[in-house]
Amino acid sequence: MAKQTVHITNETGLHARPASEFTKMAAGLKCEVFLEKEGKKVNAKSILGILSLAIGKGNQIDIITEGEGEEEGLLKLVEFVNGLND
């Protein structure tokens, strides 16, 4: 398992469009991918799961990957989310 905490600083958070892109990216990975916010953990390959977390500006989320390619997958997903914060 690989895990990294990311702080959301962009104005709109992880709303529908970036959540959809994140889901597509996660779906392309062989490993399992989860997002966790305030103790609630969801499958990050599910757009509804991500949207149910209501990730907004100022939130802190954990990106968790498990299985084949977990380290590389984690780096890719963290880079994507951090890119939203620019």
Residues annotated as catalytic are: 15
How many CA atoms does the CB half-sphere of 34 hold within 13 Å? 14
The stretches of the chain forming alpha helices (DSSP H) are 16-27, 47-52, 70-84
Packed helices 70-84 and 16-27: angle between N→C axes, nearest 10 degrees: 160
